[in-house]
Amino acid sequence: MRKLLKYFKGYKLESILGPLFKLLEASFELFVPLVMAQIIDVGIKNRDMGYIFRMGGVLVLLGVVGLTCSLTAQYFSAKAAVGIGTMLRNDLFRHINTLSYKEIDTIGTSTLVTRMTSDINQVQSGINLVLRLFLRSPFIVFGAMVMAFTINFKAAMIFVVTIPLLSVVVFGVMLISMPLYKKVQKQLDQVLLTTRENLLGARVVRAFNRQDDEAENFDQENALLVRLQVFVGKISALMNPVTYVIINGAIIVLIWTGAWQVEDGIISQV
């Protein structure tokens, strides 16, 4: 990761503006519950339709400004990610041209092809996601928790339990899946190697009538790649449903707790 930082120098402005506009979008999202609270506590309680329409206009304005900030953040993040990926690909290609034949044979042509294409595309997508979501997600989570504490301390304690549970699930899945993705990458290199050998040696394969053997060999390598990808995919896919269950469970507890506190007059109708 440190080696990638030098590529951000050419896209400093985009790398700053992307997360900045995402934080602005998140800030506008955090204002929405406060506006809704005013609509319920003031507008609906006093049956003031003018106030409700005015605050509804504020909600629409927050949505439009938030959407604008989101689109702007997407633009700057994509521009930085694509630019950094281009620079990285050019440097890698330039470095490959300096390698000796022995080094190329040791590394493997299929591995170099994978690094030039699939790996750099993954890095490019990762940079895009980091610029768009890495700062936004913690800001939303902890910002929502701070907002909850300003309304009611007891109800906000639900966030204190939920956030560590989400962190355990997310980082647990990452720790398990990352080594497995390395195995997938190695197997992808092997599939590319098998394919390249067949393309380069097509005449030899036909001359010795080895088509069936080569096809069987490719099927075995490809099947192993599929099994690894499916296995890793199943583990990664657990993140969404588990986090969904935790979040919705927390919402149920929050509504239950809030309803009783409203009934007892401890907090307002929000």
Query: pLDDT tens-digit profile of 159-196?
Result: 778 888 888 888 888 888 888 888 888 888 788 878 87
Runs of H (alpha helix) within the chain: 2-5, 12-38, 45-46, 49-96, 101-107, 109-114, 120-129, 136-151, 153-200, 202-207, 211-237, 239-263
Q: Quick one: CA torsion of 234, 235, 238, 243, rounded to 10 degrees?
A: -160
Q: 134 vs 121, which has greater pLDDT?
A: 121
Provide the phi-psi class of 265: left if phi over 0, else alpha when psi is between -120 and 50, else beta.
left
Q: What is the mean pLDDT of the chain?
A: 81
pLDDT value at 270 more than 50: no
Task: Check which CATH number belongs to the domain holding 179 and give it.
Answer: 1.20.1560.10
Helix 49-96 with 12-38: angle, nearest 10 deg? 160
Residues 6+ apart with CB under 8 A from 88: 4, 7, 120, 123, 124
**Which tokens is 193 given?**
């190697």
Residues 17 and 119 occupy one common structural domain = yes
Q: 184 vs 208, which has greater pLDDT?
A: 184
Residues 91 and 187 occupy one common structural domain = no
Residues 11 and 79 sit within 8 Å (Cβ to Cβ): yes
Residues 2 and 128 occupy one common structural domain = yes
Q: Considering the domain boundaries, does residue 143 fall inside one?
A: no
Look up residue 27 and give its amino acid.
S
Residues 127 and 2 occupy one common structural domain = yes
Query: What pLDDT was estimated at residue 265?
Result: 66
Residues 61 and 175 occupy one common structural domain = no
Residues 9 and 118 occupy one common structural domain = yes
Q: Considering the domain boundaries, does residue 139 fall inside one?
A: no
Residues 156 and 149 sit within 8 Å (Cβ to Cβ): yes
Residues 81 and 7 occupy one common structural domain = yes
82-120 pLDDT, tens digit each = 999 899 899 888 888 888 888 887 777 777 887 888 788
Domain tally for the chain? 2
Residues 69 and 181 occupy one common structural domain = no
2-46 pLDDT, tens digit each = 777 788 888 888 888 888 888 888 888 878 877 887 888 788 878
Task: Report DSSP letters for 162-227, one per residue.
Answer: HHHHHHHHHHHHHHHHHHHHHHHHHHHHHHHHHHHHHHHTHHHHHHTT-HHHHHHHHHHHHHHHHH
Output phi, psi for 97, to 5 deg.
-70, -15
Residues 89 and 56 occupy one common structural domain = yes
Residues 160 and 126 occupy one common structural domain = no
Look up residue 65 and give its amino acid.
V
Residues 80 and 127 sit within 8 Å (Cβ to Cβ): yes
**Which tokens is 181 given?**
């993705």
Q: What is the mean pLDDT of residues 47-58?
A: 86
Range of the domain at 21: 1-132
Residues 156 and 92 occupy one common structural domain = no
Residues 196 and 75 occupy one common structural domain = no
pLDDT value at 234 more than 70: yes
Q: What is the mean pLDDT of residues 246-257?
A: 81
Q: Considering the domain boundaries, does residue 12 fall inside one?
A: yes
Residue ending a domain, among 62, 97, 132, is 132
Residues 112 and 43 sit within 8 Å (Cβ to Cβ): no
Please state, in angstroms and rounded to a whole number, the distance separating the CA atoms of residues 117 and 92: 11
